[in-house]
Amino acid sequence: MGLASDITNRDARAVSRLLSWIEDNDPRAPAELKEIYRHSGNSYLLGITGPPGAGKSTLADRLISHYRAANLRVGVLAFDPSSPFSGGAVLGDRIRMQQHATDSGVFIRSMANRNWPGGIGRAAVECARVLDAFGCAFIIVETVGVGQGDVDVARLAYTTLLVVTPAAGDKIQAMKAGVIEAADIVVLNKADLPDAEHAAKSLEMILGIHPRGGWQVPLVRAVAREGEGTGDVADAIDRHRRFIKQSGALEEKKQEGLRNHLLDIVHRKCDEALRLRMTSDKELDSYAERLFRGAADPYSLAEEIIRKEIKI
């Protein structure tokens, strides 16, 4: 075999190449992923989410150092579904992490593609599998905190950290539903700022009323830039990991992930078949023609096409 066996033999360049294939929806990817699949399933998936500027990348950087000190391999997938107007600001922030770039036990990939076929979720699950087969004990999946991606990532990760700052403390109640609910651990970063304790109090109050199946979401204070609190964050991750292992939630989450991935692949394959049939088919032109002439509405035509052409 090609890339897949190179990856299990810990060839970082092969990892790079396969991640690009996933990103580009390259037709060569599925065969490699099939192979990858048999050699994966052992990594622990950590999600890091939170608003821009909260210090997610800095915290990820600290966690990498923490796990590397225990000689564990770490992978990072940093998704950036950012504004077309924001330029490279966010990616620039992540340069900090690149201090680990020469460490062969760390693999970091920043993914700025805004047009994930099928959303971030699909790409993340496949890329994580690749890093898994590469031997990573922990895979950190980070999003920039914009939109659906965060929810997708939280669904994928076994433990999700929500990173906030004291400045965001008051706003946290305004955060849309799903953001707090998706967090297993809340990290109050920049906890050395003057209004940190006030923010912590209101956060703890909010978290107190959001217990989830026996797990009380902890609030952990950190100053990631100074490296303070990294141990506490890692401890909270460990505790959550043990909790979901014992409660069976981890197994459930893994099974749900597998089932969703299967449905997703089926879906994508049908999609491709459908697109192919609709675009190669000259029939479509005659339908479109009727539409242009105003002889039919697209809803009735769609029904006709499905009945006559697709027969699903």
Dig out the tokens for 293 from the structure.
């002439």
Q: Report CA torsion sign: 219, 220, 221, 226.
A: negative
Q: Does 174 bind a copy of itself (CB under 8 A)?
A: yes
Distance in Å, CB of 14 to a copy of itself, minimum: 19
Q: Does 95 bind a copy of itself (CB under 8 A)?
A: no
* From 270, 283, 286, 308, residue interacting with a copy of itself (rule: CB under 8 A): 270
Contact indicator for 209, 203 with CB cutoff of 8 Å = no
What is the phi/psi pair of residue 111, to 5°?
-120, 110
Distance in Å, CB of 10 to a copy of itself, minimum: 21
Q: Distance between CA atoms of 150 and 87, rounded to whole angstroms?
A: 20
Q: Distance between CA atoms of 258 and 9, rounded to whole angstroms?
A: 25
Residue 110: its H or E element: strand 106-111
* From 96, 263, 286, 308, residue interacting with a copy of itself (rule: CB under 8 A): 263
Distance in Å, CB of 150 to a copy of itself, minimum: 6
Specify the residue for token string 């190669």: 280
* From 273, 283, 286, 308, residue interacting with a copy of itself (rule: CB under 8 A): 273
The site for a copy of itself, by CB under 8 A, has a size of 64
Please give the DSSP secondary-structure letter assigned to residue 86. Answer: S
Interface positions, 183-222, toward a copy of itself (CB under 8 A)? none
* From 9, 238, 288, 308, residue interacting with a copy of itself (rule: CB under 8 A): 288
Q: Does 69 bind a copy of itself (CB under 8 A)?
A: no
* From 69, 70, 71, 85, residue interacting with a copy of itself (rule: CB under 8 A): 85
Contact indicator for 218, 236 with CB cutoff of 8 Å = yes
Long-range contact list for 195-198, CB < 8 A, 24+ apart? 195/166, 195/167, 195/169, 196/166, 196/221, 198/166, 198/169
Q: Does 96 bind a copy of itself (CB under 8 A)?
A: no
Site of interaction with a copy of itself (CB under 8 A): 30, 33-34, 37-38, 41, 50-52, 81-88, 114-115, 145-148, 150-151, 168, 171, 174-176, 178-179, 255, 258-259, 261-263, 265-267, 269-271, 273-274, 278, 284, 287-288, 291-292, 294, 297-303, 305-306, 310, 312
